[in-house]
Structure 1
Amino acid sequence: MLRSLIRLYLIVLLGGGLAIVFVDQSFSQLFHHRVTQNVRDSVKAYAFVLTDYLERHPGEQRAAALAELQQHGEEGFSLLTMKDVIPVLDTEQLRDLRDGKLVLSMDAKDYYLPLPDGTIVHAHPDEPGNLDIKALAYSLVALATLLSVVLWVHYHWRDLRKLEAAARAFGRGQLSTRADLSKKSNIYDLSKQFNEMARQIEASILHQRDMMHGISHELKTPLARLEFGLALLQSPESPERQRERQLALRRDVRELDELVTELLTLSRLEQGAAHMVLMQVSVSELLDSVAASMAHDVADRALSLSVITAGAPVSHVCDPKLVARALLNLIRNSTRYARHAISLSACLGPAGALVLIVDDDGPGIPITERSRIFEPFHRLDASRDRHTGGFGLGLAIVHRVALVHGGEVRLEESASGGARFLITLPSVPLPAAVGTPGGATAIQDKRGFATKLMV
């Protein structure tokens, strides 16, 4: 702190000293006309008396009169003619002399007083040598400046130490640490940025911890079944029983593969929009393709899936593969709980946004659980286990798909009492380089597009 204080004080002193020198040397020239007028007004009586005194001593007596007057002061009087002052005065000053006006030199140290007979009285008064008074005055200014700087640095440094202490505590792992500074503090905005950064880092670390815990928990069950199944394969059993064991092991491997795939998808989405491929997509064909890919699953569960595009925009710029993946996850979620019908619709939102809606007539989701429904590995209750609720990553992927598009996903209650998911995708301009020649709509026929989405 002492080093910073000394540096700041020296900078202030240097700046103040330069300002004083500049004012002393330059202001008399910058405002010469105004200074001259002020001097004329202030010495008007003095000039009248001096003129009257010299007029009473004409000719050769005038020099003696000035010499006698000089004995009573330090004015530095001398008598000049117009010819003598032409080299040292400018045109305007010479004009003022001819008009009988007092003239002040550019540095405000010499006076020229014209007399009625054309003689010019030149005065160069000596400045009083009050160096001790000036030194005392400047010392007081320097002391006042020092006290002001110390006072300012004290409060500034105190707040910086608070911010430093908060940063150290946060670095030691106390993730809930925040910098508590007054709104009047000079670094209040900096502390707000620090607190926001700390909040985001804390949320990210806690999210990673929850993810690691969920991944560990999800991997344990299929790995344990694989280990148990491999042990059973070593025991003597009938060929049919062995085939059943092998099929069960294959299902466990596929389950692990699906879990890893979901985790990789979620990881890529959490990296932001780096992996997005934006293109102009036909909204109706996108929804029809998603519905076509889910037709068999819906039919197997004796459900109906309707697609409604009335009021929807003709096309929208998005990553069709990611958006389709989000819709597929929502429809799969609905097929687990819907009683009779599922609805997939689209409409035009505010500012040209695309709103995608998935409705079902199932039991719905309790209000108390809606705030956590998009968290990874979150399941509502024990009845929604892996066989009915998947890995708990589907809705988390939907949430990330909406975020990377700059939108959001909301959960509401449908008209039939079930769950209603709304994905809002804001309108964005089409990138200059698109994935298809000539900027054409990058979408295949319904069957081909649905096949691509499933890859």
Structure 2
Amino acid sequence: MLRSLIRLYLIVLLTGGAVIVFVNVSFDYFFHDRVTAKVRERTSVYAFVLTDYLERHPGAQRAAALAELQKHRDNDFSVLTLQDVVPLLDAPRLHDLRDGKLVLDRDATDYYLPLPNGTIVRAAVNDREDLDIKMLAFVLLALATLLSVMVWVHYHWRDLRALESAARAFGSGNLAARARLPGRSNIDQLAQQFNQMAQQIEASIQHQRDMMHGISHELKTPLARLEFGLALLQAPDSVERQRARQLALRKDVRELDELVTEMLTLSRLEQGEGHRVLMRCALGELLDSVAASMANDIADRTLSLSVTTAGAPAHHVCDPKLVARALLNLIRNSTRYAHRAISLNATTGPAGALVLTVEDDGPGIPVAEWARVFEPFHRVDSSRNRHTGGFGLGLTIVRRVALVHGGTVRLEASETGGARFVMTLPRLALPASAVASAAASLPA
């Protein structure tokens, strides 16, 4: 702190001294006319008395009168003629001098007073402030500046130490550490940025921990079944039983493959917009392809799926593969719990946004679970296995798809009593590369 204080104080002191020197040296030159007017006004009575005094001592008496006057003044007096003054003054000042006006030289250190008899008195400008008084004033100014700098540096350094302490604690593993500074602090914005960064890092690390915990938990069951199935294959049994066990093992392998695929998809989506490929797609065709992909599952469960695009834009800029993936996850989720019907609706939202709604008539989701349904590996009913509740990644992927498009997804209560998922995708512009590629593909 002492080194910073000394550096800051030296900078302030040198800057202030340079300004004072500049003012004393240059302002008399820049504001010469104003200074001259002030000197004339201030010395008008003095000039009258001096003129009267010298006129009462003409000829040979004048030298003695000047010597006597010099005893009572600290100024240097000299009597000159106009020819003596011509080399010392410029044309405008000589003009004022001939008109009987008091003039200052260029440095404003001496003034020239014309007398009625044609002679000119040169005298130093009377500086009413003595040097010791000036020095005392400058010392007081320096002390006041030092006090101000010390107060400023004290509070500034205190806040920096608080921020440093929070950063050290955060780096030592205390992810809840935050910089607590008053709002009037000089580094309040920096502290807020640090707190925001720390909060994001804490959330990211917590998310990674939850993911690792969930992944390890999800992998244990299929791996255990695989190990048990492999042990059973080594035991002698009928061909039919061996074939059934092999089919079960293949099913477990496919389950593992699906889980890894889901996790890879979620990992890519976690990286943000880097894996988003925007294009202008026909909304009706996109929804029809999603419905066609789910036709067999819908039929197997004797459900109905209705698709409505009334009021929706004909085209929308998005990543069709990601949007289709999100819709498939929502519809698959609905097929597990719907009683009879599932609906997929598309409408236009504020500012040209696309609003996609997937709704079912199932038992719905308790309101207490609404905030957690989009978390990784979260199942509303902990008793459900992955055949009824999936891996718990489907809705997480839906949320990430909405986020990489700059949109949102939320859960609402359906009028039919089931769950209603609403995904809002804002209106986006095609990137320049996509526009150029589309223009190049047009026929000449």
User: Normalized against structure 1, the TM-score is what?
Assistant: 0.92
Q: CA deviation at 1:440?
A: 9.1
Q: CA deviation at 1:435?
A: 8.3
**More moved, 323-332 vs 412-421:** 412-421
Question: Counterpart of 2:216?
Answer: 216
Question: Counterpart of 1:88?
Answer: 88
Q: CA deviation at 1:63?
A: 4.2
Q: CA deviation at 1:270?
A: 0.6
Q: Which amino acid aligns with 2:88?
A: V
Question: Counterpart of 1:200?
Answer: 200
Q: CA deviation at 1:363?
A: 1.1
C-alpha distance in 2, partners of 1:398/1:385? 21
Q: Which amino acid aligns with 2:272?
A: G
Q: CA deviation at 1:74?
A: 2.5
- Structure 1's 122 and 131: CA in aligned 2 closer, same or farther, altered over 3 A? closer
C-alpha distance in 2, partners of 1:304/1:85? 114
Q: Which amino acid aligns with 1:16?
A: G
Q: CA deviation at 1:317?
A: 0.9
C-alpha distance in 2, partners of 1:142/1:436? 65
Matches within 5 A, 1:132-147: 132-147=132-147
Between the two proteins, what is the percent identity of the paired residues?
73
Matches within 5 A, 1:299-448: 299-434=299-434, 437-439=437-439
C-alpha distance in 1, partners of 2:385/2:136? 86
- Structure 2 unaligned residues grouped into runs of 5+: none
Q: CA deviation at 1:214?
A: 0.2
Q: CA deviation at 1:99?
A: 2.5
Question: Counterpart of 1:15?
Answer: 15
Question: Counterpart of 2:78?
Answer: 78
Q: Which amino acid aligns with 1:240?
A: E
C-alpha distance in 2, partners of 1:19/1:336? 80
Q: Which amino acid aligns with 1:93?
A: R
C-alpha distance in 1, partners of 2:389/2:439? 40
Partner SS, residue 372 of structure 1: coil
- Structure 1 unaligned residues grouped into runs of 5+: 443-455
Q: What do residues 200-228 of structure 1 show as CA deviations (whole Å, max 9, x unaligned)?
A: 11111111100000000000000000000
C-alpha distance in 2, partners of 1:41/1:126? 13
* Paired positions, count: 442
Q: CA deviation at 1:56?
A: 2.6
8 Å contact kept, 1:111–1:122 = yes
Q: CA deviation at 1:382?
A: 2.5
Note if 1:111 corresponds to 2:111. yes
**More moved, 173-182 vs 81-90:** 81-90
Partner SS, residue 429 of structure 2: coil
Partner SS, residue 121 of structure 1: strand
Q: What do residues 293-332 of structure 1 show as CA deviations (whole Å, max 9, x unaligned)?
A: 1111111111111111111011111111111111111111
8 Å contact kept, 1:74–1:125 = no
Question: Counterpart of 2:251?
Answer: 251
For CA contacts below 8 A with separation 6 or more, give which structure has more relative contact order.
Answer: 1
Q: Which amino acid aligns with 2:421?
A: F
- Structure 1's 71 and 382: CA in aligned 2 closer, same or farther, altered over 3 A? closer
Q: CA deviation at 1:70?
A: 2.2
8 Å contact kept, 2:108–2:125 = no
8 Å contact kept, 1:63–1:79 = no
**More moved, 335-344 vs 66-75:** 66-75
Q: What do residues 143-183 of structure 1 show as CA deviations (whole Å, max 9, x unaligned)?
A: 22222222221111111111111111111111111111111
C-alpha distance in 1, partners of 2:158/2:31? 44
- Structure 1's 369 and 185: CA in aligned 2 closer, same or farther, altered over 3 A? same
RMSD value, Cα: 2.1
**More moved, 288-297 vs 101-110:** 101-110
- Structure 1's 282 and 118: CA in aligned 2 closer, same or farther, altered over 3 A? farther
C-alpha distance in 1, partners of 2:115/2:436? 96
Question: Counterpart of 1:180?
Answer: 180
